[in-house]
Homo-oligomer: A and B are copies of this chain.
Amino acid sequence: MLKISKRGQDMPSSPIRKLVPFAEMATKRGTKVYHLNIGQPDIETPQIMLDAVRHSDFKILEYGHSAGNESYRRKLVKYYKSVDIDIDFTQIVITTGGSEAILFGFMACLDYGDEVIIPEPFYANYHGFAAEAGVEVVTVTSHIANGFALPPIEELEKKITPRTKAIVICNPNNPTGYVYGKEEMKQLGEMVLKHDLFLFCDEAYREFNYEGEMPLSSLNLKGVDNNVIMVDTISKRYSACGGRIGALVTRNKDLVNAVMKFAQARLCPPGFAQIAGEAALDLPADYFDTTKAEYKNRRDLIVKRLNAIKGVNCPKPSGAFYAIAELPIDDADKFCQWLLESFSYNGATVMLAPGTGFYATPGLGKKEVRLAYVLNLTDINAAMDCLEEALKEYKQHTTITADSGVLAEAMYA
């Protein structure tokens, strides 16, 4: 019998995208769906980026350089300088989204059966890229009680085996919104140096810290130039998710050379969006002020609304545009599906990302959901109205279902 690969079978489904068919059905029924499930901002892509593509005047959509257009990489050096990161254009490989940067990094740093340590909850697709690279994800759990701070460094060290090759963090964090402090970053730096590990740091949300200055970049940790792989993207920074332009940045020359072989195999990153990415670098220095203020207001509102609902606990996140909330439910996957399948309030419902998808440890996150505050204040209010009402109705629903004996079966199916 012709069978798909074990890897294909084991590859985790995207917890964020697997509910899409239910959302599509809800929309078809005429129910408005508030999308708090995915980091797709409603902020407009800067006009200057779209115009650059629209006013481009080439005649042939040619292959570009495998590392990305040199003009773009050279200009990125100036952007990084503006955020106090000192690198050379040869240390940047432009990738097809941050996604490809992670994948290339895993491919070039880890072998089949190697292990990577990631604090959970974590961005679910890291798991997918690890599966593609044949790499085992080993987690240390961070907790809602302290806002998902970095677990004590000894806990991470305890997980190190001879197969451990790397640590992956995301700062500011998706899905928790936690911003690792300088001390936490330095501890990580010391740890990877001590144990000869690579440190992957996804800095997609660099500009979005609402409580202080920009977080310390992994590239500014001392003495770990060969260890650090910084992953970046234009997706969130400029609300340009569909362009699929990211970057892998490292001062490790051998690693750049290895990554380039993977980059050459896929020829080049997308041409049009590189033009948009390059144009973004002409935005005024105060561009992020408005966006940041807007996200901060949204965060304040969503956290306030969540914590005002009985039984809900949502620590205030400092950065990115996500919050994780604990809800008075037993199974976030079922609840999120139920919201789309069976619930509406004022003709609307809300789509959330079940917490379980962000943990690798089975059983964790069953009471948690991730909310992306990527909608305007009015919509966030309406979405929170829905959620508040839904939790009341769901409680009755599950009580009845539990009484009828069906819940237990459904919950562990």
A303 contacts chain B at the CB level, 8 A cutoff? no
B residues near A64, Cβ cutoff 8 Å: 242
A163 contacts chain B at the CB level, 8 A cutoff? no
B266 x A111 contact (CB < 8 A): no
A241 contacts chain B at the CB level, 8 A cutoff? yes
B13 x A267 contact (CB < 8 A): no
A377 contacts chain B at the CB level, 8 A cutoff? no
A17 x B66 contact (CB < 8 A): yes
B residues near A108, Cβ cutoff 8 Å: 4-5, 7-8, 11
A328, chain B: closest CB distance, angstroms: 30
B13 x A96 contact (CB < 8 A): no
Contact among B5, B61, B114 for A45, CB-based, below 8 A = B61
Give chain A interface residues in 250-272, CB to chain B under 8 Å.
Answer: 252, 254-255, 258-259, 261-262, 264-272
A62 contacts chain B at the CB level, 8 A cutoff? yes
A61 x B240 contact (CB < 8 A): yes
Give chain A interface residues in 65-91, CB to chain B under 8 Å.
Answer: 66
A42 contacts chain B at the CB level, 8 A cutoff? yes
A368, chain B: closest CB distance, angstroms: 21
A266, chain B: closest CB distance, angstroms: 4
Contact among B110, B241, B255, B266 for A99, CB-based, below 8 A = B266
A1 contacts chain B at the CB level, 8 A cutoff? yes
A377, chain B: closest CB distance, angstroms: 18
A28 contacts chain B at the CB level, 8 A cutoff? no
A45 x B17 contact (CB < 8 A): no
B residues near A271, Cβ cutoff 8 Å: 242-244, 273
B111 x A2 contact (CB < 8 A): no
B40 x A63 contact (CB < 8 A): yes
A38 contacts chain B at the CB level, 8 A cutoff? yes
B266 x A6 contact (CB < 8 A): no
Q: How far is the CA of A96 from the CA of B243 in the complex (A)?
A: 11
Question: C-beta contact mask, A1-29 vs B, less than 8 Å → 1, else 0?
Answer: 11011111101111001100000000000
B residues near A145, Cβ cutoff 8 Å: none
B residues near A243, Cβ cutoff 8 Å: 61, 270-272
6 closest A-B pairs by CB: A128-B265, A242-B271, A8-B258, A272-B272, A14-B264, A270-B270
In the assembled complex, 18 residue pairs joining A and B whose CB atoms fall closer than 8 Å, in A order, are: A2-B198, A7-B108, A8-B109, A8-B258, A11-B108, A11-B258, A13-B264, A14-B261, A41-B60, A54-B54, A61-B239, A61-B276, A62-B242, A96-B266, A125-B266, A132-B132, A134-B134, A243-B270
